[in-house]
């Protein structure tokens, strides 16, 4: 799990999204779980848990992508310490975080990815990027 500097935002993999001690120690208050292939996490009732089972590629319903992006954007906008996680933490989590940031800042998805990940690795699948671009453009 890694915090994005300057934001109340952490990105992680499925294991991070289930590591209750690390989540609580970091002061995270909301978890946005995007891992289709993982069972829902079991967390304490004090945490907000939002699950949007997304595929890492094409085939995601637009309404589900929109719900995930809007939820992440609302949490970021409110300053809520939030963990966005997916299977490996490399594609869906960075993609949704970037799409949420693009909606908040009014910039492109590519610019948001560069802003959030200037020197760290994010490997959003091309098919998911195309779906997210469509969501961001309709925001």
Question: Closest by alpha carbon to 48, among 15, 78, 87, 5?
Answer: 78
Q: What is the pTM of this model?
A: 0.94
**In the predicted model, is pLDDT for residue 119 greater than 90?**
no
What is the per-residue pLDDT for 121? 65
Residue 15, classified by CB atoms within 10 Å of its CB into exposed (0-12), middle (13-18) or buried (19+), is: middle
Specify the CATH number of the domain 2-137. Answer: 3.90.190.10
Buried b (16+ CB within 10 A) or exposed e, 24-58: eebebbbbbbbbbebeebebeeeeeebbbbbbbee
pLDDT, tens digit (0-9, with 9 covering 90-100), for 35-90: 999 999 999 999 999 999 999 999 999 999 999 999 999 999 999 999 999 999 99
Q: What is the pLDDT averaged over residues 127-137?
A: 93
- Domain segments of the chain: what residues? 2-137
State how far the alpha carbon of 73 is from the alpha carbons of 19, 44, 111, in Å.
Answer: 23, 23, 16
Residue 73, classified by CB atoms within 10 Å of its CB into exposed (0-12), middle (13-18) or buried (19+), is: buried
């Amino acid at each position: 799990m890694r915090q994005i500097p300057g934001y109340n935002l952490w990105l992680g993999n499925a294991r991070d999204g289930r590591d209750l001690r690390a989540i609580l120690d970091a002061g995270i208050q909301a978890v946005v779980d995007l891992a289709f292939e993982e069972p829902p996490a079991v967390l304490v009732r004090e945490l907000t848990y939002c699950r949007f089972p997304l595929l890492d590629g094409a085939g995601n319903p637009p309404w589900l992508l929109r719900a995930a992006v809007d939820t992440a954007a609302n949490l970021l906008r409110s300053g809520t310490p939030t963990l966005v996680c997916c299977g490996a933490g490399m594609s869906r989590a960075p993609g949704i975080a970037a799409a949420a940031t693009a909606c908040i800042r009014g910039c492109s998805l590519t610019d948001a990815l560069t802003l959030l990940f200037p020197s760290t690795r994010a490997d959003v699948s091309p098919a998911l990027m195309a779906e997210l671009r469509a969501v961001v453009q309709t925001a």
